Structure formats: C-alpha cells, structure tokens
Amino acid sequence: MAQKTSLTRYLVEKQAGANPIPAQLQLLLEVVADSCKSISSAVNKGALGGVLGTAGSENVQGEVQKKLDIISNDMLIEAAEWGGTLAGMASEEMDEILPIPSQYRQGDYLLMFDPLDGSSNIDVNVSIGTIFSVLKKAGGGAVQESDFLQPGARQVAAGYCVYGPQTTLVLTTGDGVVMFTLDREVGTFVLTQENVQIPADTKEFAINMSNMRHWDTPVRRYIDECLAGKEGPRAKDFNMRWIASMVADVHRIMTRGGIFMYPWDKREPDKPGKLRLMYEANPMSWLIEQAGGASTDGRQRILDIQPTKLHQRVSVVLGSKNEVDLVTKYHLEK
C-alpha cells in the first residue's frame, strides 16, 4: 500500500526539491495547519459545543461576530505567536495589527487571516473556512501596519482550509497548488492532490444574483450573456452556484473550474466591493493563479494592487482564465 504523505513529510521533502522553503516558513505552515485542525474540531461540534450563535460584538467591518469567529481567531493567535516565526499578525476580526508579545522570539513573517470566512453559514451547517496569507517583513524595527501593506504578488505562502464534508487544506508556496485532506482518525493532513489545474473554460458562474440591479454595466452584460445560454452570444448554457462562503465557492472552482464574482455595486459607491484585499482576495488570487486561473478587480490583476489600508476592500472576479479575461475585456470596453 502506498505510503500516505502527510503535510509534514510533504514540506520536509520539499526541502530536498527544486523549490525549498525556509525552515521558519515550514514551521509556520505546520502551526497554521494544526490550528485549522482545532478549528475544524470546534466547528464540527456545532450545537454540542455551545459554540453557535453570536458573540454580541462587531468586527472592524461592523459585522456581527459569531462565537466561532472569536474562537477561531484566538486559536490561530495562540498557535502561531510562540513559534519564533512571526513579526506580527493581522485578522479580519481585529481592528489593529497584533505584534508578537515580547516574551516570545520574533521572526521574519507576517501572518494575515480571515479565521472563519462565511460565518453567516455556521448556524445553518453550510461549509465555511479559514483563509491565510503570509508575507515577509521587509524592513527592520518594531512591526507596524505599513509592513503588512505589500501587494499580493509578494506573498510567500497562501492557503485556506475548508470545513465541509471533508476538512481540506489547500496551499501554495509559489510552485503550484496542493491539497491535503484531514484524516480525523489520526489527526493528520494527508496529501490528496498535487499540481491542481483549473480548466480555462467553464459553464458555471458564482455571484449573488439578488444584487443584479446594483451592478455596473460590464458585469450586467457578462451575466446577461450567461443567462441567455445556447440562444445567446455565448452559445452555451451556464449553471449558477452561490454558497455565500468564499472558501467553499473558491474550492469548487479549484476542483472543477468556474468563475466567482463579488463586484462593485452602487449600494456603497465609495467602496470597491465587499471582500477584503489582504486576507481574502490576495491569498485566493495567488492560489487561483498558481492553478492556472486568473483574478482581477474587473480591470487589473488583484495581486498587483498596492494596499493603502489593512482592511481595505476590493472587487473580485476570479477563476477560469478565459471567463475572467472576458469580464475584464467588458470592463475595459466600458
């Protein structure tokens, strides 16, 4: 029987390969994966664990925080702060950056995360997930918010863990995308897919259709053509999915292709979109590109955007390359 490759073995064997990663980064990824196991366990308990419902607080976005949002956030912090790999952390659930406490050794990396994305789905038992992004602190001195404001193209690692029928960790360090499935009996992430490739074409789009009347014309044009099906200019019928959990929608695209869109809409004209650049769009965009897909804000590559604020938002159009390119074309023709 073939030897199962654990995350640890995969990362160790990577050191002997063509694209080794620094030992500090290897340790950081193992620690993040460990906290995803703990989060998976807490999520799986649901009502039995007394972890459902709201925490009675709001995050920096003004969104009501679920108990599991806070629990997951604390799990990631407690797992990562002592390892000597980090200079600081940032989270959707925390207004400010979190320097590493002085009693711990300081490292070179910056960890950003959405500890539990899609948390509106927690109480209705629909897939949710953790998204994380790793940058390297460029300068010396005490960590500050400006150290985090690097374009997504400078990430050194990115990934997500989807808590669904399986708990699956999806990861890139810049040489393709790999997937690990949690073997709960032994508590190990087992390598289940290497060299993930997204088909360039698709017949499946993901967007919140209830916002249609608020979209800009290029998005409306693209979706109308999808809805026109075989009789329309695309000459093929499309299917629609919207899980309202970015991790689950992106995982479907990583698995079978598709296009995911959360565009600007006129309800909040001064905001470019709903999703956050640093710890949602950037890590997902790198994973999608590393799997042969594309990711833009409608006009420019998301990974090229120079951040100005830690919690800034961005429009997102990502997935099968030929579809994303068509949406971008429509924006540029406007």
Instruction: Among 6, 91, 245, 290, indicate the residue that binds ligand P6P (CB under 6 A).
Output: 245
Q: Which of residues 19-48 bind ligand P6P (CB under 6 A)?
A: none
The alpha carbon of residue 27 and the mean position of all alpha carbons in its chain are separated, in whole angstroms, by 20
CA distances from 175 to 2, 48, 178, 298 (A): 24, 40, 9, 26
Spatial contact of 261 and 316, defined as CB atoms under 8 Å apart? yes
Q: How far apart are CA 184 and CA 114, in angstroms?
A: 23
Choice between 120 and 195, CB closer to ligand P6P: 120
122 lies in the site for ligand P6P, by CB under 6 A: no
Residues in contact with ligand P6P, counted by CB under 6 A, come to a total of 11
Instruction: Among 47, 244, 256, 329, indicate the residue that binds ligand P6P (CB under 6 A).
Output: 244
Of the chain, the end-to-end C-alpha distance in Å amounts to 57
Q: How many CB atoms lie under 10 A from the CB of residue 172?
A: 21
User: Of the ranges 52-60, 149-157, 197-205, 238-246, which one interacts with ligand P6P (CB under 6 A)?
Assistant: 238-246
Rg value, the chain, Cα? 19
Report the nearest approach of ligand P6P to the CB of residue 117 (Å).
5
- Would you state the structure tokens that stand for residue 265, as one six-digit string? 């809409």
Report the nearest approach of ligand P6P to the CB of residue 139 (Å).
31
Instruction: Among 246, 294, 305, 310, indicate the residue that binds ligand P6P (CB under 6 A).
Output: 246
Region for residue 176 given its phi and psi (left: phi exceeds 0; alpha: psi -120 to 50; beta: otherwise): left
208 lies in the site for ligand P6P, by CB under 6 A: yes
Q: How far apart are CA 124 and CA 9, in angstroms?
A: 36
Does 309 belong to an annotated binding site?
no
Choice between 135 and 275, CB closer to ligand P6P: 275
In what helix (H) or strand (E) does residue 111 lie, and over which residues does it extend? strand 109-117
Region for residue 62 given its phi and psi (left: phi exceeds 0; alpha: psi -120 to 50; beta: otherwise): left
Region for residue 234 given its phi and psi (left: phi exceeds 0; alpha: psi -120 to 50; beta: otherwise): alpha
Q: Which of residues 254-273 bind ligand P6P (CB under 6 A)?
A: 262
Choice between 120 and 217, CB closer to ligand P6P: 120
Q: How far apart are CA 278 and CA 309, in angstroms?
A: 9
Does 118 belong to an annotated binding site?
yes
120 lies in the site for ligand P6P, by CB under 6 A: yes
Give the residue from 153, 150, 128 showing the smallest Cα distance to 46: 128
Does 116 belong to an annotated binding site?
yes
User: Of the ranges 24-32, 64-72, 161-169, 245-253, which one interacts with ligand P6P (CB under 6 A)?
Assistant: 245-253
118 lies in the site for ligand P6P, by CB under 6 A: yes
Does 114 belong to an annotated binding site?
yes
User: Of the ranges 65-73, 117-125, 217-225, 229-237, which one interacts with ligand P6P (CB under 6 A)?
Assistant: 117-125
Residues in touch with ligand P6P (CB under 6 A):
117-118, 120, 208, 244-246, 249, 262, 274-275
Annotated binding site: 92, 114, 116-120, 208, 274, 280
